[in-house]
Structure 1
Amino acid sequence: MSRAGELVVVKLVPDPAEAPHVRDMVSWALGGMAASAIARKLNVEGVPTKAADMTARVTARRDRGVSKPLDRTVWVSSTVPRILRDPRLAGYAAERQGTKRAVLRDNSGAPLVSHEGIVPADDWWRLQDVLDGRTPHVVRQGGRSVPSLLGGAGMLFCGVCGSSMVTDKRNDKQLYRCNRAQSGAVQGHGGLAINMDAADDVVARTVWSRLTALDPRDPEDLEWLAEAARRFAAQADTGERQAELAAARAELEHVREALRTLYVDRQAGLYAGAVGDQMFRESVERLTAHEARTAGRLEALGTSEADTVAIPSEWTAPEGDTLGPESTWAGWDLSARREFLALFVDRVSVARSVGRGRNANTTERVAVHWTEVPAK
């Protein structure tokens, strides 16, 4: 707190006792740790919950500073996302919208910053992408990272139910399997799985084959290559404009999710009566206006992206085996290979196997869905 003339200025700052734990939670979530695992870790490390902290303060006041043993409250998985979703972590002002807190914005649609954030705003927006499943991360197995080309890129999906596919290991063989198949929740495909190396090889060879066979007179090939070039430019752009563009995309999805939640809450009867109906209409109008402003800002940023940027020429005219030991592909690490595939492929789906063992139609099961220009 500081005094300027007769005006007393109060500056909100992160709680030094709580902030480190919150930063840890953000870091763990960005690394792919599930909410349940984060809650377990906090309990194991003895991190007090907010409820326990408030109880301790009240007790201390009542006992005039004499502390007594308290019943410890524990972390649960539902508490973790509620904390990580809170815009106040990034220093934003927030308002209640149904059961959630949403970013409070000014008339231009920009988020209102009310205090010092516990984490940088860019990290918070990136965290929302992770929580919404829009940002891929390495799949965790047994507490350890399992490196994989397609699973780690977040582009591999079950061709039967549409669920994401994760890494697995059976009889010392690395596999991709449907994330929902083993639960029995989806009928019709059982434990859908495919050899990891075989699937990775099919996708990589399919991409390189199309690159080497590009027809400069084919409009579809030209559009495909142009979108890949745009993505390549975005990957290389580490400037302020690209960061603002990514943040605007995340903000737009965040606003739309708030709108969806608002309608779900109304259907659940949370806005009953005349007062509730008025609150609902005002919230919809405010969010719709924010959505329009954010979409407009996103479009403006998109049109300012770099003009035509060519992808490296050696990609369209490789020499020898495109996946051979002397190839460009062989010289890349796993991260570079994922970034390369993300330029040309939006998703990969795996169909149900027809046979087993040597009779399985492994290569025919993999379908590559080429990158498309995103709808405005």
Structure 2
Amino acid sequence: MRTQVAIIGAGPAGLLLGQLLHKAGIDNVILERQDGDYVLARIRAGVIEQTTADLLDEAGVGARMHREGMAHDGFELCFNGGRHRIDLSGPTGGKHVVVYGQTEVTHDLMDARKAAGLTTVYHADKVELHDFDTTKPWVSYTANGESQVLHCDFIAGCDGYHGVSRASVPASALSLYEKIYPFGWLGILADTPPVAEELIYSNHARGFALCSMRSPTRTRYYVQCSLEDKVEQWSDDAFWDELRRRLDPATAEALVTGPSIEKSIAPLRSFVAEPMRFGQLFLAGDAAHIVPPTGAKGLNLAASDVRYLSRALIEHYIEKSEAGIRHYSDTCLRRVWKAERFSWWFTSLTHLFPDQGAIGAKLQQAELDYLVHSEAARTVMAENYVGLPF
């Protein structure tokens, strides 16, 4: 089999890239190790930046997001027993974010790919990337127990942190930067109404908490926890009790609880691999970088990579220009590091770091107080939260 672009990974990054290339008339095949149901079962982010929403519209898959998603013009910070709203729209000229689950984005992209009759190979096993340092790369894999070969012009590695794409690059060609945070997020999904109209980020002496949602009837809540904790140690009642302790009294009183339909613990890390291009192989999304979820940048940063990569490949095929391809890594990384900085800063501002002691807590409170009372600081927050311009 032959295609122009082989895409490794059928998550939102790979599917969005495939859709944008298809609309430009560029042939592509997606290889995915798991099946479609497994991909859809992943519980991930739910805050879509303005720039990502615009890109989904460009790909022709934004209709349901606009119909069912919830546009948010702000969020709230909770500390010292009170809540303080951060306006997003005013400082950014009317921009906002849309609360719409990553699972729904993936579903929309899958439906569009199926409707267009494009090739996605699920259960692609033993995927190996070959000769991507030449002009004739190819991918080998097995499907239905048979060995297969996919010849292509380019390979897009959209297969996540543990995928084969980055692992195929010689270690000597990579520079890795990583910070492991000394805590995780215990999160639950519940069919309960949201406790507030907008997200609430809480800084508390017991640890961070986040009140989020997926719809008017489905909520997503998180509490900071130890990396040694196990999901089995946390009953639903224990979670709800701990969440209440970390909220202001009015919010805690208004909280509607119910049985969890999903519960998990996620570690937090900041990670970047440089560069993001190796000959005809391009890394995108989690294959190249990870951010802590505090700033809701993971999916949005992957979409940013896909925007740059799709335009670079369209320039190559349609305009016969190599400029986008040559500059892909540097262009992506400028944006990646800004998102990494914001996510690190927001995490540092809102979480409990026991090793920083009493002075660390006091400095956090001072910065939070400055943030909510400074127009300049609120503008910086808003600009980063809705997504920096391209």
Greater radius of gyration (CA): 1
Where on the TM-score scale, by shorter chain, does this alignment land: which range? under 0.3
TM-score by length of 1: 0.23
By relative contact order (CA 8 Å, sep 6+), the higher-ranking structure is 2
Bigger helix share: 1
Bigger strand share: 2
TM-score by length of 2: 0.22
